Structure 1
């Protein structure tokens, strides 16, 4: 029996088991023409039919994520046409999904964007996860993990120095810095506990 990822659970790298749960997966009782998902731009009836099938699909989000992560630019994937997915492809490297960050910190092998990878490194550093473990989590050498921790330490130190300077300026001018909303503080705490 295959494991179907929950909607909020990122799929593992290389995991294709979700295909068996897709609404477009052909079976003996449900024949689906794969060409339906590769219509010409002016074939509106075929596009509507494909999107209608996608709308019923329990793994639609996983399908869309897989298309974006694999750079699949052809056909209808995850209920979106090539043109509808194009802006998502260009923004993918900036995606920051904390479910993926937490899954990685918990030892799952998921696709990470550059932003998510930086968040994993920062969260691991702040949680005092050894660099050997970070190296294993994100599939890099121990030396590279040490380098990323040095960079993170420097970034956090510089941010603390800048914050202290801003606080001094605010005190001199007479302004008080607002406290971050509890939801942001809680989100940071959750991230740290995931490891």
Structure 2
């Protein structure tokens, strides 16, 4: 029987470039790689296929793709995707919501977050009783900004409970039976 272990996701921390040392595209004495292969012209399909094959073997492929997206890198093949393939991902990046990033941030790691993920961190921190000072530290904002965000979240929570529809009660039973509606919607 084969056993599979899922290791925890390790996201690139702010300013971290150490992942590049593990990249397959790094040229070494024993593994010479021409960096030009990752910057082919659109009609150089052989170069594109070779670069993607190298990326397919890379242990830091996901990190490379994240770095390219988060850094706005639109040139060359990064993370196994061409410029054209990364285009839609660049457009969707601000709305990315990866809960593993949210959880890593709540745990105290300096992870690159999108606007949507930052909002999710604020809500998760509020629900878990994280102090305003800790939230400010996690998101690298002022304590005043963290207080403001918590006030907005409290207000939204309060308004949500006020806007909940009240349960409608059945009219009182007459002789143990509730009145029924006829075909015209009037009480019979």
Separation (CA, whole Å) in 2 of partners of 1:81 and 1:173:
60
Aligned 1:69-84 pairs, distance under 5 A: 69-84=70-85
**Contact conserved, 1:104 with 1:120, CA < 8 A, in 2?**
yes
- How many residues of Structure 1 are paired with residues of Structure 2 in the alignment? 164
For structure 1, the residue ranges without an aligned partner over 5 or more in a row are 1-5, 175-195
Structure 1 ranges of 4+ moved more than 6 A:
none
Shift of 1:7: 7.1
Q: Does 1:172 pair with 2:168? A: yes
Shift of 1:161: 2.2
Counterpart in 1 of 2:89? 88
**Contact conserved, 1:71 with 1:89, CA < 8 A, in 2?**
yes
Counterpart in 1 of 2:175? none
Q: Does 1:126 pair with 2:127? A: yes
Deviations 1:15-67 (A, max 9, x none): 11110111101111001111110000111000000000000001100000110
Separation (CA, whole Å) in 1 of partners of 2:73 and 2:145:
30
| Larger relative contact order (Cα-Cα within 8 Å, sequence gap ≥ 6) | 1
Counterpart in 1 of 2:174? none
**Contact conserved, 1:23 with 1:56, CA < 8 A, in 2?**
yes
Counterpart in 2 of 1:179? none
Separation (CA, whole Å) in 2 of partners of 1:23 and 1:143:
45
Structure (1 or 2) with the greater helix fraction: 1
The RMSD of aligned alpha carbons is 1.5
**Contact conserved, 1:7 with 1:61, CA < 8 A, in 2?**
no
Q: Which moved more, 1:151-160 or 1:97-106?
A: 151-160
Larger radius of gyration: 2
**TM-score w.r.t. structure 1 length?**
0.81
